[in-house]
Amino acid sequence: MGKNAYFQLVHKTNKTMLKVFPASKDGEMFSVEEVMKYLEVINFGDVDMVSLHNYLNKADFRVEFMLAKKDVLPEDGKSVTRIEDQGERAVTRFYPPSTSGKKLSREEIISDLNRAGIVHGIRQDVIDEFIMNPEYCRDYVVAVATPPVQGHDATIEYHFDINATAKPKLNADGSVDFHQLGNIKPVQVGEKLATLTPADRGKAGINVTGAPLPPNKVVVKVLRYGRNITISEDKCELYSQVAGHITLVDDMVMVSDVYEVPANVDASTGDIDYNGTVVVTGNVNTGYAIHAEGDIVVQGVVEGATLVAGGNIVLKRGMQGMNRGSLDASGNITAKFIENSKVRCNGTLMCDAVLHSDVESNGKIAILGKKGLINGGHVRSYTDIAATQLGSTMGISTVVEILSDVDLIKTQNEVGERVEEVTDTLEQINIVLINIKRSIAKGNQITSEQERYLKMAAVKKPKLEKQIADMEAQYSSLQTVIESAKKVSIKVENIVNPGVKIIIKDVARIINDDVSRCRFVLEGADIKILGY
């Protein structure tokens, strides 16, 4: 690389000359403005700038240019420093001493830098390079800033599909399935919902003047969330407190154990499979299904649909099942009316009218109210049945039955035996775990077989404990039903029409004449009609 051209003041008798040293190879030529600036720095006085400009442009430097017809005091070497890029670096250009002056020392250069405000990041190696092999009218980067440590934006990772849309499934035969739309995002208790990686604001650097050099601004985020959600102590993780469904609204995570359908359950929603409570504002159309681990509440009418609830079912208007609709509730069922439907209920069934339906309940059945009518079909329970009216003058086949508790007792015994089996299995696991922990406590190293057993137990124990709890709850529920089945009756407030068949624990009686305000009870091998 060539050297830049430079200039020097030359002292002669009664005059001061400017000597130019041309550039070598690809070195650069200095400008007239640079010469004028230098002369201004040393307070040289007025110079014919036009003549100087013409001299430099002519580029014949064999003859020196006369700056002034006077002799001036010697000038030592000079440095002119500028600060660039908002203090990220300092650049110095050096000028040679006049012919009677002296060169700059290292200490003088540093002192000049300090006077220019340069106090940080001074490059001693560059100064040494200039001292050893000086080049003039050349840029030397004599100081550089300590750069800031750049941070990064905060990021949030959502552990659920935030882009799910209700799209129908295309079947293999080319038809479109509007039942499985996938528009519910289920969530379990304790499930991690979101993880925040906090913003790193970085670390400020120092510019060449000693001032802080701030890092780039970063985007700061926080986890926003609604009810039923727990946030970790470090505010970086969200967990669900309930089983339900999750939504993201304007970067706010929301979990609800109640899924609200604002209109009908139809092709726009598909089937609903939800691990909480489902509330339907409109109707449930024929052919669609709702499965909920909680309750199901329908404000409108249920047509030929399937409703299965782990809790209660409430139909504000009722159900017209069209001989294809069904209700199945682990809790109670309450409805305005039920017609042409199949119904299974573990709790109490309450309704204004049951028409032409197949109904079975482990709990009481109360068909009361203004109509209180059971007409057509087969209605049966393990305990009391109460109605305002049974059958009709049309003589439609109507069967009202109190089931025998023999099957319930058998089922309860089977559940009890299964509880004992699972409890024994759990106890055996606990014994092995205790022995392993004692061995570890004595300082023994865990074997690979013991490690595999610990991993197996960590998975299996919670499942067995839940299984036992569920079966004990079932056993208790069966016991309640069995106790209530000891003294049962079929009670009618108004009238029992001819043709109605009454069955109590396998004993049957067909009503041939109107009977009003009565109770049907089993006495021995006969069904007796008693007063209301």
* pLDDT tens by residue, 205-214: 999 999 999 9
Residue from 235, 221, 295, 209 nearest 259 by CA: 295
Distance CA 145, CA 87 (A): 7
pTM of the full predicted structure?
0.54
Burial degree of 525 (CB within 10 A; 0-12, 13-18, 19+): exposed
**Cβ contact 224:251 at 8 Å:** yes
Identify the bridge partners of residue 254 per DSSP, sorted by sequence position.
Answer: 247
Q: What single string gives the DSSP state of each residue in 302-368? A: E-S-EEEESS-EEESSEEEEEEEEEEEESS-EEES-EEEEEEEESS-EEESEEEEEEEEESS-EEE-
Identify the bridge partners of residue 176 per DSSP, sorted by sequence position.
Answer: 170
Residue from 351, 329, 330 nearest 339 by CA: 351
Three-state secondary-structure class, residue 138: coil
**Cβ contact 252:269 at 8 Å:** no
**Cβ contact 500:400 at 8 Å:** yes
Q: List alpha helices for 116-158, DSSP H.
A: 124-132
Place of tokens 């998975």: 459
Range 464-484 average pLDDT: 82
- Write down the pLDDT at residue 176: 42
For 454, the enclosing helix (H) or strand (E) is: helix 448-484
- Write down the pLDDT at residue 161: 81
Residue 358, pLDDT > 70, answer yes
Residue 48, pLDDT > 80, answer yes
Place of tokens 């059971």: 374
- Write down the pLDDT at residue 169: 54
Residue from 531, 527, 491, 490 nearest 382 by CA: 490
Report residue 175's pLDDT band, with 50, 70 and 90 as the boundaries.
very low
* Tokens describing residue 2: 């060539």
Q: Which residues contact 309 (CB under 8 A, 6 or more apart)?
A: 290, 292, 293, 294, 295, 296, 328, 329, 330, 331
Report residue 166's pLDDT band, with 50, 70 and 90 as the boundaries.
very low
Indicate the range of 90-94, 173-177, 446-450 predicted with least confidence. 173-177
CA distances, 400 to each of 491, 509, 514 (Å): 11, 10, 16
DSSP-assigned letter for residue 86: G
For 441, the enclosing helix (H) or strand (E) is: helix 406-441
Residue 54, pLDDT > 90, answer yes
pLDDT in tens, 411-420: 888 888 998 9
Residue 472, pLDDT > 90, answer no
CA distances, 395 to each of 196, 352, 368, 391 (Å): 69, 20, 21, 7
Distance CA 477, CA 481 (A): 6
Residue 180, pLDDT > 60, answer no
DSSP-assigned letter for residue 85: G
Report residue 178's pLDDT band, with 50, 70 and 90 as the boundaries.
very low
Distance CA 312, CA 319 (A): 15
Burial degree of 441 (CB within 10 A; 0-12, 13-18, 19+): exposed
Q: What value does the mean pLDDT of the chain take?
A: 89
* Tokens describing residue 144: 């550089």
- Residue 83 carries which side chain, given as an amino acid letter? I
Residue 227, pLDDT > 80, answer yes
Distance CA 67, CA 167 (A): 87
Indicate the range of 189-203, 238-252, 298-312 predicted with least confidence. 238-252
Identify the bridge partners of residue 401 per DSSP, sorted by sequence position.
Answer: 380, 503
Higher per-residue pLDDT: 245 or 348? 348
